[in-house]
Amino acid sequence: LNQLKSNKDRDTKIFYSITGPGADSPPEGVFAVEKETGWLLLNKPLDREEIAKYEVLL
């Protein structure tokens, strides 16, 4: 993930979110994003035998 900053309007707040499989659709809760920092968090262990791959599009 990248964070963009601008000196143009320092009072503007940027908030981050994530959606899709592993976030807010099955299997829910695997990934999360810290709203104010944009940090991508892994909340559960990944099991390749259960789900072979996740795609995260930025």
Query: How confident is the model at residue 5, as a pLDDT?
Result: 67
Q: What is the pLDDT of residue 13?
A: 82
Tens-binned pLDDT, residue by residue, of the chain (58 aa): 566 666 766 777 888 899 999 999 999 999 999 998 889 999 999 999 999 998 887 6
With b for 16 or more beta-carbon neighbours within 10 A and e for fewer, the 6-42 pattern comes to eeeeeeeeeeeeeeeebbeeeeeebbbbeeeebeeee
**Phi-psi region at 32: left, alpha or beta (left = phi > 0; alpha = psi -120 to 50):** beta
pTM over 0.85: no
